[in-house]
Structure 1
Amino acid sequence: MKRKVKVISTIMFTALILMACESAITFPPVSQIETNTHNQGQIVWHDLATYNPTAAKDFYAEVFGWEFETLGEGVDAYFVIKNEGTPIGGIFKLGDKFGKAAEWLGSVSVPNVSAAVKYNSSEGGKTIFKKASFPGRGETALVQDPQGAFVAFLKSESGDPLPQRAMQIKMNSWLWNELWSNDMDASMDFYKGLASYETEEVKGSKVPYFLFKQENKIFSGVIGNPVEGARSAWMPYIKVKDVNVTVEKAKAAGAHVMMEPTPTIRKGTVAVLMDPTGAQFTIQQWILR
């Protein structure tokens, strides 16, 4: 998907989570089935940090039919995202001092959050939010990796969801995660050390594209950053039935289209969008044409 993509703004902020103290809220687990197993390296949850949760909720409800459950109240409220009744993520408000910023944050499963934070620091990354325990969710910390991408480390209380094939994933839910890196080699070396990933190059790709794997399980991908002038970032994908219909719905709901579907990129099945609050994400039509 390597190409120049128009960007309204590049989100840069040094602190993203308001709930830095131990929370009284009981958060939904990352898996609706208590598995008591952890898949190191799997991205198991997504949170949207945004200056305007109301606008974000309205947008995602209109485009994807998501519903929301409110936990807590006021500026500390946490909005659980539900797709067909199943929790798949959350939304929370950034403090006013961060301005009009928004970003999707993925949580990667690690066996030891403290060790993961220490490793990130030793490699030149930054700790944004120190390790804390969240009832129902587990232990988590937010960091910026050495190449600049924000990512959360998480050890779930009840275990991780079982990996699913694309065909098993519900429409309008998370399909894929991709690291858009300004230094692919450095990023791959870092995440290999973090999660014991193996990497495999995708043959026949028009641009260098690698998969993060572990014991034959494919967890995510990495590609050279297609956004000119932007920092490295994790890009979440949402599975949709029809990419063109979804793009039109997103436009009508206030999205900025960073990349329209084009036949030369994955046969016209993907589009890159920015929601009305500035958070970027990708949609992909499944089954492939």
Structure 2
Amino acid sequence: MKLDRPVTGGPCWTELGTSDLEAAKRFYADLFGWRPETDPRQEAGGYTVAHLGDAAVAALSPLYQESQPVAWNVSFAVADADAAVAAVQAAGGTVVLGPMDVFDIGRFAVAFDPGGAAFQLWQARSFPGAGLFNAPGALGWVELMTRAPDRVTEFYTAVFAWTVNASEHYTQWGVDGADFGGMVTMDEKFPHEVPSHWLPYFAVENVEATADAALQAGGHLLMEPMSQSPTRRIAVVRDPQGAAFGVYTAGEEG
């Protein structure tokens, strides 16, 4: 992505809800070199922040509700969570949680776009979001998988004022023209039971080596490593608990 820090309207954080927190901590620590730190407070519910060096890069948490799927989630930065929730509802989205305060670090809400993809809103206080983007092991791209491309394009541009860079093959989202993600239309190749969703991509030094390591650790490949350009390689992985994420060649942003 062409963003190197959290900005209003852009992705600022990604977090995994998983059925086996300890196994997930081991898997991603081995895969990306993350150092996980679990919040010891009982009210934090096992929320774990992963670090690269001193930078917070992602989070992992247990499933807090029976209906919550094992999945990666993407948060977008907003200046005012309450106003953003109102904008989501006015544009045809559905708010399912919040807005609510998270200790003294921020204000948070969970919503679904009109195509059924979940996303999160984050109003920062003491915690702005990820301290590192685009470096190996850090978030570098977010991709919306949807069956309603026209409707969700209208929705997200209304809610976040995203810029849209659309070609015949791919649509990219941006903040003031700085692209941070894209959109894929889910066609008949996608199983009917797979819902619309946001997919985070993490930068890696070597896509093949990362894919092989994920397989050796019990993961699965949803998309084999492939080239998007002479230097950019991507793959999509499902972790041992079932959460999907992408990897791409670090240094090939935007």
**Counterparts of 1:100-179 in structure 2 under 5 Å?**
101-158=69-126, 160=128, 169-179=134-144
Q: Given the alignment of the two structures, is residue 94 of structure 1 paired with residue 63 of structure 2, yes or no?
A: yes
The corresponding residue for 1:16 is: none
Displacement of 1:266 after TM fit? 4.6
Alignment of 1:191 onto 2:156: yes
- Residues 11-41 of structure 1, C-alpha deviations (whole Å, 9 max, x = no match): xxxxxxxxxxxxxxxxxxxxxxxx9xx7321
**Structure 1 residues 76 and 163: alpha-carbon distance in aligned structure 2, compared to 1, 3 A threshold:** closer
Give the superposition deviation at 1:182: 1.0
Q: Deviations over 1:171-222 (max 9, x none)?
A: 11111111112111111110000111121124xxxx6311222323223212
Superposed, 1:259-274 pairs within 5 Å as 259-263=223-227, 265-266=228-229, 269-274=233-238
CA distance in 1, matches of 2:197, 2:163: 20
| Structure-2 separation of matches of 1:245 and 1:162 | 25
Q: Supply the AA of the counterpart residue of 1:90.
A: A
Larger mean Cα displacement after TM superposition, 108-117 or 192-201: 108-117
SS of residue in 2 equivalent to 1:261: strand
Q: Percent identity?
A: 26
Q: Shift in Å at residue 124 of structure 1?
A: 3.3
CA distance in 2, matches of 1:111, 1:49: 25
- Residue 96 of structure 1 deviates from its aligned partner by 6.8
Residue identity in the other structure for 1:285: T
Write out per-residue CA displacement over residues 265-289 of structure 1, whole angstroms, 9 at most, x where no aligned residue: 555711100111111100002345x
Counterpart of 1:71 in structure 2 is 39
RMSD of aligned C-alpha atoms?
Answer: 2.5
Q: Which amino acid aligns with 2:217?
A: A
Instruction: Give unmatched runs, 5+ long, in structure 2.
Output: none
- Given the alignment of the two structures, is residue 55 of structure 1 paired with residue 16 of structure 2, yes or no? no
Of residues 80, 83, 86, the one that matches 2:52 is 83
Which is worse superposed, 119-128 or 247-256?
119-128
Normalising by the residue count of structure 2, what TM-score does the alignment of the two structures yield? Answer: 0.86
| Distance in 2 of aligned mates of 1:209 and 1:155 | 29
Quote the Cα distance in structure 2 between the aligned partners of 1:197 and 1:95.
31
Number of aligned residue pairs: 243
* SS, match of residue 54 in structure 1: helix
Matched letter for residue 185 of structure 1:
D
CA deviation vs aligned residue, 1:68-99 (integer Å, no higher than 9, x gap): 11103568111111122311121111147348
Q: Residue 258 of structure 1 aligns to a residue in which SS? A: strand
Shift of 1:158: 4.3
- In structure 2, the partner of 1:276 is 240
- What is the distance in 2 between the residues matched to 1:232 and 1:43? 18
Structure 1 residue 151: deviation in Å?
0.4
The answer to whether the 8 Å contact 1:181/1:225 transfers is: yes
- Given that residues 105 and 127 in structure 2 are in contact (C-alpha distance below 8 angstroms), is that contact kept between their aligned partners in structure 1? no
Amino acid aligned to 1:88? V
Give the match for residue 178 of structure 2.
217
